[in-house]
Homo-oligomer: A and B are copies of this chain.
Amino acid sequence: MDQINFWIGIIATIAFAVTGVLAIADRGVDLFGVLVLGVITAIGGGTLRDIILGVPAFWSLSQIYVWLALGACVVTFVAEAFFTQPQIYRWMLYIDGLGAALFGIQGVDKAWTLGFGLPVAPVILGVVTAIGGGLLRDILAGKKTLFMSHELYAIPVTLGCFLYVLVLNFLPQYTLEGSVVCMLTIFGIRVAAIRWNLRVPIMFITKTR
């Protein structure tokens, strides 16, 4: 399982870096900005989580995540035309959804294992892990954050993290199975949202004035 987690983490990091770069490619960012913003997208959420948890940033212990993100950013910058093909881009979004699912559940797990602010904080920190990097990127690139995009992104992540906390609390003997189910829940909703362009229903959105 650790082995699988590791590989999904690797894939997710790369996907986050790629989609991060594509998200800000239209802002006239220089190559240095591409590297920084792509890396922040990939490792920023986990870094925020670790700062709030008061533990060393995860990439200070396993630097492979930084290297992979940097490599993915360079490749994306050079081969932007490839990644922006509709078919390829959609695949990237799917992998990004898988990454969000994994990062969210991993975040819950880390906070829960450390006994940090049970039971509320693990949900919060799972969501922070999954969406924090994208938020930092959007702020630094001067883009609207996902709170105003009405995409079904943070909601499935929150739902999955919440379900996983229920599993950890009430069904601790099924942690492994539960984590897989919760990841698939997040990933499934994300895939459906991308596939059928589902968005947050208008009744749940405040009126712009």
A residues near B (Cβ < 8 Å) are 24-34, 36-37, 47, 51-52, 54, 56-57, 59-61, 63, 66-67, 77, 80, 116-117, 120-121, 124, 135, 139-142, 144-148, 150, 154-155, 158, 200, 204-209
Contacts and interface: CB of A to CB of B under 8 A. Distances in A.
A135 B32 CA distance: 14
Contacts of A145: 140-142
Given A67-B120, A116-B60, A206 B27 contact: yes
Contact of A47 (B26, B31, B52, B66): B52
Given A36-B154, A61-B117, A204-B31, A135 B144 contact: no
Nearest to A204: B31
Nearest to A201: B30
Contact of A117 (B63, B140, B158): B63
A148 B27 contact: yes
B37 A147 contact: yes
A139 to B, nearest CB: 6
B63 A57 contact: no
